[in-house]
């Protein structure tokens, strides 16, 4: 066997992306590689990625993380979905939950087709009646019990999360170097990065470099000039203010995404506080007006000064270029509407572990990595674009633009398939499942004109009984659950750190 060509891994930047990478790499590949993470306490992080999706649980299992210890350390709460308010039109509300709608069966059609057949016959109620996680979240309930399958994610304090992961990574062998990067050295023949030069004069040499420098993209863009594909024609917001407030009531197991005239605002309940923010397009709203609107509409005592964040939605043309892999904000940015930022870091690190270039950073492996990453982020782009484009709001120039804008062909095809046949699908490397597409497409107001007639194979009485039993079982299960706040107090009390 050839001697390893790639052994020294250098992570440029800390924060969530850097410490996620460090913790995962040292856990999975520890004895095979040397990991050095360079960060400066003087450089702040964005630190507002406080909402996750269920893939974080799988990632934590990969790292052997104790859930209760993690939740105490990060002041985390449980999350069952997102409450979308005022998106289809002002006054609308629907929940995109993490649950399965209905029940899987041997039938060759998804559950919502049977529900549509029931509706055509005059019964069936709301599709929301048939999702356990949706009903639990709407009732503010949560529980984990043996034999009870519940699909959930977390709300967490991003700063505390990075600190928690650092506490796992350093004792396992990750070397942290304090300092600002002053220069990036490259091989004059290949252009590969060879070392980071710190302001102190220290050289950090490596074979593979991970760019976790956030929007600065110090390695992938400022050094390697990789290029960036701008997606603001689809996702036009470009600014956000974030602020923390004191809790005013029990934490609910939902992120709230509340649309306003030029964007939306979020509310994320943690154990010790609430994370708030407003997302807007600077073309339609000034910074001053956005800041005032946020402070006007939030609840609870303000704990921090509102922080302005500028961004440009889009993706790096390559996330793996030469011997550099960009993670997190350095790789691109899809706004936080569906809480995908931390997921993209984790899935990229997992992919890197699976495809680690021990034999050298060859073009074939980089191309494979880039193809997979591009497919995934384009799918997320389409899903989030759907929320803006599929709206009946006509109360502002911002929503007029969203409603009438150009959309990707891939999204137009999905919308047409659902409109004409109620058909939704999930491809390999797609993050969002059929149930997610169905919940958002219906929630935003797209009513299919037809559906799969296989649903007629179940006679009316069988269908009525099956739906009634499913609704009753879900309702009874939710009724027996404690409130989310009660469960948190028992499972990971805030004072028990």
Q: Is there a catalytic annotation at residue 79?
A: yes
Pairing of strands 193-198, 181-186: antiparallel
End-to-end CA distance of the chain: 47
Distance of CA 416 to the CA centre of its chain: 26
The pair of structure tokens assigned to 433 is 């499942």
Question: Which residue(s) pair with 321 in the sheet?
Answer: 324
Q: Any idea of the CA torsion for 143, 129, 253, 275, to the nearest 10 degrees?
A: 170
Catalytic site residue from 7, 27, 79, 144? 79
| Spatial separation of the C-alpha atoms in residues 153 and 90, rounded to whole Å | 28
Which contacts qualify for 470-478: CB closer than 8 Å, 24 or more apart? 470/102, 470/103, 470/130, 471/125, 471/129, 471/130, 474/129, 474/130, 474/131, 474/132, 474/135, 475/135, 477/132, 477/148, 478/132, 478/135, 478/136, 478/139, 478/141
DSSP helix/strand/coil, 226? coil
- Residue 66: CB atoms within 10 Å: 10
Residues tagged active-site: 79
């Amino acid at each position: 066997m050839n001697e390893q060509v790639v052994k020294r891994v250098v992570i440029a930047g800390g924060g969530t992306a850097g410490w996620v990478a460090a913790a995962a790499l040292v856990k999975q590949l520890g004895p095979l590689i040397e990991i050095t993470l360079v960060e400066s306490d003087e450089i702040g992080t964005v630190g507002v990625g406080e909402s996750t999706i269920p893939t974080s649980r799988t990632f934590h299992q990969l790292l052997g993380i104790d859930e209760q210890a993690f939740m105490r350390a990060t002041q985390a709460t449980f999350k069952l979905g997102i409450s979308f308010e005022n998106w289809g039109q002002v006054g609308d509300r629907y929940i995109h939950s993490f649950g399965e709608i209905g029940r899987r069966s041997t039938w060759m059609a998804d559950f919502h087709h049977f529900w549509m057949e029931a509706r055509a016959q005059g019964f069936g109620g709301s599709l929301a009646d048939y999702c356990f996680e949706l009903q639990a979240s709407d009732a503010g309930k949560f529980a984990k019990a043996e034999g009870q399958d519940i699909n959930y994610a977390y709300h967490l304090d991003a700063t505390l999360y990075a600190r928690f992961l650092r506490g796992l990574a350093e004792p396992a062998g990750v070397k942290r170097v304090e300092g600002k990067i002053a220069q990036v050295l490259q091989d004059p023949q290949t252009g590969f990065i060879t070392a980071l030069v710190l302001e102190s004069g220290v050289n950090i040499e490596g074979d593979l470099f991970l760019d976790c420098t956030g929007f600065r993209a110090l390695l992938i863009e400022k050094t390697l000039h990789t290029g960036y594909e701008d997606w603001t024609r689809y996702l036009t917001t470009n600014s956000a203010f974030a602020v923390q407030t004191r809790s005013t009531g029990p934490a609910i197991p939902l992120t709230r995404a509340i649309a306003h005239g030029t964007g939306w605002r979020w509310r994320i309940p943690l154990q010790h506080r609430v994370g708030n923010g407003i997302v807007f397009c600077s073309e339609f709203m000034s910074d001053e007006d956005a800041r005032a609107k946020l402070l006007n509409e939030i609840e609870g005592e303000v704990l921090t000064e509102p922080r302005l964040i500028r961004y440009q939605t889009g993706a790096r043309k390559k996330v793996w270029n030469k011997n550099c892999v960009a993670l997190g904000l350095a790789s691109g940015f899809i706004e936080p509407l569906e809480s995908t930022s931390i997921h993209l870091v984790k899935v990229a690190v997992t992919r890197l572990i699976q495809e680690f270039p021990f034999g050298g950073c060859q073009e074939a492996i980089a191309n494979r990595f880039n193809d997979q990453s591009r497919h995934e982020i384009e799918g997320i782009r389409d899903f989030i674009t759907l929320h803006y484009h599929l709206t009946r709001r006509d109360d502002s120039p911002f929503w007029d633009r969203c409603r009438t804008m150009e959309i990707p062909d891939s999204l137009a095809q999905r919308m047409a398939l659902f409109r004409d046949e109620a058909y939704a699908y999930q491809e390999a490397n797609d993050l969002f499942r059929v149930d997610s597409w169905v919940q958002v497409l219906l929630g935003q107001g797209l009513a299919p004109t037809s559906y799969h007639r296989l649903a007629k194979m179940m006679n009316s009485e069988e269908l009525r009984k099956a739906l009634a039993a499913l609704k009753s079982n879900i309702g009874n299960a939710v009724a027996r659950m404690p409130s989310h706040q009660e469960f948190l107090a028992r499972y990971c009390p805030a004072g028990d750190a």
